[in-house]
Amino acid sequence: MKPVVSGNMVTKPFFVGWDPKDAVMDDPDNHIERYLDKLTRMWIDPDAAKRHLKKKGNPLVYEVYEKEIPQRDGEIQFCSSITHPGKIGTEYFMTKGHFHKRRDTAEIYYCLKGRGFMLMEREDGEHYLLEMRPGRTVYVPGDFAHRSINAGDEPLISLAVYPGDAGHDYGSIETSGFRYVVVEKDGRPEMIENPRYGRMLE
């Protein structure tokens, strides 16, 4: 089923299936895949990412399935967000993370599968790390950059829902990073200061 958006941008009613087994949207309009080779600078140890590429190949770190909805006020965007299990050095696989282009827009993540965290950080430094597990919905308020982190051994899968005109701003996080990162220490996840904060592109 394709014609969600007609030429004059009128949204028509539609449905989308959700596979109860793999917890992922069926029949998406877009499939976004992020492989490690395009994400080498987002880790606290970019050299570990390069070593991983050399020795273990180029894993799919995360992916998104989404319907194409008009990007305007009043509409609702929704997608399947899948962060795969794995680590670069001690740092868990995670999404790039982003602010919304319209900064004041919120988002909810309803976790369907897996174990991990939602890291949220405002420009003034206020930050939160909330655990994600099946059945839990995390509310990300406006003005918070957000990133999913998989601290388990199966895919971390959520249904994400956000305003139609929210948009994505990846640039700020690509440049500065988050102030905090989550690493595995003594077999457990721990939030530590990001030693590369403010210079992720170096």
With beta carbons less than 8 A apart as the criterion, state whether 189 and 180 touch.
no
Find the part of the chain contacting Fe ion (CB under 5 A) among 26-34, 50-58, 64-72, 107-115: 107-115
Exposed (0-12), middle (13-18) or buried (19+): which is 95, by Cβ within 10 Å?
A: buried
Shortest gap between Cβ of 83 and Fe ion (angstroms)? 13
Nearer to Fe ion, 52 or 65 (CB): 65
Nearer to Fe ion, 39 or 64 (CB): 64
Give the torsion through C-alpha atoms of 39, 133, 146, 125, to 10 deg.
Answer: -120
Shortest gap between Cβ of 107 and Fe ion (angstroms)? 5
What is the total residue count of the chain? 202
- Listed in sequence order, the DSSP H helices in the chain are 46-56, 171-176
Nearest-angstrom CA–CA distance, 86 and 11: 38
**Quick check: 66 binds Fe ion (CB under 5 A)?**
no
Strands 127-132 and 116-122: antiparallel
Nearer to Fe ion, 91 or 107 (CB): 107
Nearer to Fe ion, 52 or 147 (CB): 147
Shortest gap between Cβ of 66 and Fe ion (angstroms)? 11
Please measure the distance between the N-terminal and C-terminal CA atoms of the chain and give it in whole angstroms.
44
Nearest residue to Fe ion by CB is 107
Shortest gap between Cβ of 162 and Fe ion (angstroms)? 5
Find the part of the chain contacting Fe ion (CB under 5 A) among 60-68, 73-81, 103-111, 126-134: 103-111
Provide the token pair at 110: 């309803």
Binder of Fe ion out of 63, 66, 91, 107 (CB under 5 A): 107
Shortest gap between Cβ of 119 and Fe ion (angstroms)? 12
Nearer to Fe ion, 63 or 107 (CB): 107
With beta carbons less than 8 A apart as the criterion, state whether 179 and 138 touch.
no
Provide the binding-site residues for Fe ion, judged by CB under 5 A.
107
